[in-house]
Amino acid sequence: MTKQKQHQNLSQSRDGGYTIIESLVAMIVVSVLMIAIAPVMAFSVATRVQARRTELATQAAKAYIDGLRSGSIKFNDPTIKGFPAKFAAFTATNPEDLANAPVPGNKDNLYCVDMDGTGVCETSSTKDFYVQGAWGNPDPSITGDDPTLKGYQLLVRVYRADSFAGVTLNQTPQTAKKQSVVGSGLGDRTMPVVEMTTQIPPTTEGVPSAYRSLCDRTNGCK
Select the highest-mean-pLDDT range: 50-54, 132-136, 182-186.
132-136
Amino acid at 76: N
Could you tell me where the DSSP H helices lie in the chain? 3-70, 210-218
DSSP for residue 88: T
pLDDT given at position 24: 82
Give the torsion through C-alpha atoms of 52, 55, 57, 62, to 10 deg.
Answer: -160
The average pLDDT across 24-34 equals 83
**What separation, in Å, do the N-terminal and C-terminal C-alpha atoms of the chain show?**
113
What is 163-182 written as a DSSP string?
GGSS-PPP-S-TTT----ST
Amino acid at 26: A
The 10s digit of each residue's pLDDT in 143-173 is: 788 998 888 999 999 999 999 988 788 877 5
Tell me: pLDDT of 73 over 90. yes
Residue 198 burial (CB count, 10 A): 13
Our CA angle for 49, 55, 58, nearest 5°, is: 140
Closest CA to 133 of 166, 163, 98: 98
Half-sphere exposure of 112 (CA within 13 A, CB side): 19
The average pLDDT across 58-73 equals 94
Binned at pLDDT 50, 70 and 90, residue 61 comes out as very high
DSSP for residue 108: T
Binned at pLDDT 50, 70 and 90, residue 5 comes out as low
Nearest-angstrom CA–CA distance, 43 and 1: 62
The 10s digit of each residue's pLDDT in 99-129 is: 889 999 899 999 999 998 898 999 999 899 9
